[in-house]
Amino acid sequence: MYSRVLATIKKFLFGNLLSNMILLLMSVIFSRKYGVHGRGVYALIVTIPAIITVLFSFGLNNSIIYHLKKKQISVTTALHYLFFLTFWLVSLVWLLRLLAKISGAAFVLNDFLALGSITHPFLWTSVILLTMAAPLKLFLISYFQSIRDIKMLLIAITVLPFCQLLLLSFWPGSDQPGFLLYMLCYAGVECTLILCLTIYLYYVSVGTMHQKTASLFDVVSYSLKGYIGSINGTINSGIDVLLIEKFAGTSELGLYSNAKSIVRMFQVLSNSVANALLGYYLELDRTSLKIFHKKVSLSLAVGYFILFTVAYLLSEYIVYYLYGAPFLESLNYLPYLLFAAYLVTSSTPDSYVFSSCNKPHITSIIASAGFIVAFGVGIIAGKSYGVIGILIALCSSSVVTYSLRKFFVSKLFRGRCD
């Protein structure tokens, strides 16, 4: 069992290393070409579609993956649901665009999503295209992870950033018009490639048979149970970006985004482990699950502590030699981000226990508490202390998330897992 897990981790690690090397080159070239402010605008443009997808897909993506893994729906049926979800999200963005024209940032949702900061048509079009690709991209990666199709996963996570790296490397304009046009082309390339990969999966899946036991009502019911849990991703990858844009401005957001890139660079191993473990957790019975999870949790706690300590020691050299002196101020944010990343990544397998035991509502409870802490403390502290206040909120949310995950896993294993 454990040799199979290690073999799968090695395969995922290779793909993640390759993908993250490409993304690292992209971030370095982009930062040097467009500076701190450009980096902040880029972070905002790619974050808004991600948050819209998480908040307004109502957990449907996670539910589809769960029912596919249990062989209760077919891949083609799953893609039908996803195409409808994509249509709904894109329509929502158009509605928000219309409201932004009418009332600007006065509309509460536009204000929360920082849509008032997006004024140029090219940037709005970029948001729409990235929103179209976001749920499909999330599904493809999760699906290939769950069935451990390493070849297709490598295509999904490496071909897209490689094409975008080529686009950025040979892009002629480093001024404002050049930046705006680049963002439009960047979004267009991502949307086109994701749609092509989705259509390919649809056609190769036509005719495959599954024992269809789950109705649309079953899929939606499961998704709503875990919906609040699905917004957990906004805490670490979205809400902090929006709050910094609101309270500190785009330039500070650029520095913060740079610090997050360094953290992500060292999360290659943790992402590989997470990608490999999900499928195994869903396959284990109750007794094996408890033993397996105990060993995994201890190994990850020690391994990630060493990993993020090394990241902190090397961070100054990485920033100075790769990104340049203008980004050195981002080092002030790094200790907070590394602390939060350690707590969240080391406890990620706990959430797999909840999925394996068909307890998505536990994930919802934990995510609700984390979201309330992150948003509440972020609003209060962000007004007074800017980025540092928002980082304190992020760390507080991570502590709450970590503690509750451990508490519920312990409670689950002391009782019954059904």
Concatenated DSSP letters for 194-249? HHHHHHHHHHHHTT--------HHHHHHHHHHTHHHHTHHHHHHTHHHHHHHHHT-
Model confidence, pTM: 0.79
Q: Which residues of the chain are under the pLDDT cut of 70?
A: 1-16, 69-70, 100-116, 145-150, 173-174, 206-217, 222, 224-237, 269-286, 360, 416-418
Neighbouring C-beta atoms of residue 45, cutoff 10 Å: 20
Return the pLDDT at 388. 93
Q: How far apart are the first and last CA of the chain?
A: 23
Q: pLDDT of 132-173, one tens digit each?
A: 888 888 788 777 766 666 677 777 777 778 888 888 888 876
Return the pLDDT at 9. 58
Return the pLDDT at 331. 92
* CA distances, 266 to each of 126, 238, 243, 262, 298 (Å): 28, 19, 24, 7, 19
Return the pLDDT at 356. 72
d(CA 325, CA 349): 38
Residues 6+ apart with CB under 8 A from 7: none
Amino acid at site 73 = I
Return the pLDDT at 105. 47
Return the pLDDT at 10. 60
* CA distances, 341 to each of 58, 82, 210, 230, 402 (Å): 25, 30, 38, 18, 11
